[in-house]
A and B are shown apart, each in its own frame.
Chain A
């Protein structure tokens, strides 16, 4: 595997389900990010982990819970979601304190029914 991988690529879940999104980076980076991309809205930064510590949480509802067990892996745990949470969830990685360029995974298309 190369670059940034995300699983699953597609997920359909009910509002009472619990699921997790997984992201893995193979680039030797030490910062990782979760973004939400909804139709007709700008890209929204949700969480930032740098050197395995959460450095930013942009007022994301508590039904989204991130976990970063090491510099290569990032999870987004989901529970009791709402239909408006349906979106493409993108993971990215970068070198902390570098020039800022981030490398993105292909995303997980989430549908909440």
Chain B
């Protein structure tokens, strides 16, 4: 079945460090890929998306590139801030029929000053 695997957390970084959160997927079709972020006490917010191979999604300094050859969608940010502390979820959706998002288990990021 379709699935998403993302790196286990928690991840702890110092401010201005480089961030990578790995995400790989298994899907039978051609999925759209998403990163969601959940700040403490809030719901999930769509951070970025990519709908086809080689697309790069970007938002708020975060980037992820849809790599079909490695079935990956790793999240990166060049310089994290304390305000980036949150839980990050990778997800996929099979376009054109499925109403489901398949989520990874989430990776908790803590950024220290």
Binding site for B on A (CB under 8 A): 4, 6, 31, 33, 42-43, 45, 48, 50, 55-56, 90, 92, 94, 96-107
What would 15 more interface pairs be, CB under 8 Å, given A100-B32, A102-B46? A4-B43, A31-B99, A42-B105, A43-B103, A56-B100, A92-B44, A99-B51, A99-B93, A99-B95, A100-B93, A100-B95, A100-B98, A102-B101, A104-B36, A104-B44
CB distance from A91 to the nearest CB of B (A): 8
Tell me the bound Cα distance from A99 to B34 in angstroms: 10
Contact of B99 among A6, A42, A96 (CB under 8 A): A96
Tell me the bound Cα distance from A18 to B103 in angstroms: 30
**Given A97-B96, A100-B93, do A105 and B103 touch, yes or no (CB 8 Å)?**
no
CB of B95 within 8 A of CB of A105, answer no
Chain B residues with CB under 8 A of A107? 42-43
Tell me the bound Cα distance from A96 to B34 in angstroms: 17
CB distance from B39 to the nearest CB of A (A): 10
**Given A42-B106, A90-B43, A107-B43, do A101 and B34 touch, yes or no (CB 8 Å)?**
yes
Chain B residues with CB under 8 A of A50? 99
15 contacts between A and B (CB under 8 A): A31-B99, A42-B104, A42-B106, A43-B103, A45-B101, A48-B100, A96-B99, A97-B96, A99-B95, A100-B92, A100-B95, A103-B46, A105-B43, A106-B43, A107-B42
B: interface residue count bin: 20 to 34
Binding site for A on B (CB under 8 A): 31-32, 34, 36, 42-46, 49, 51, 89, 92-101, 103-106
Chain A residues with CB under 8 A of B43? 4, 6, 90, 104-107
Chain A residues with CB under 8 A of B32? 99-101
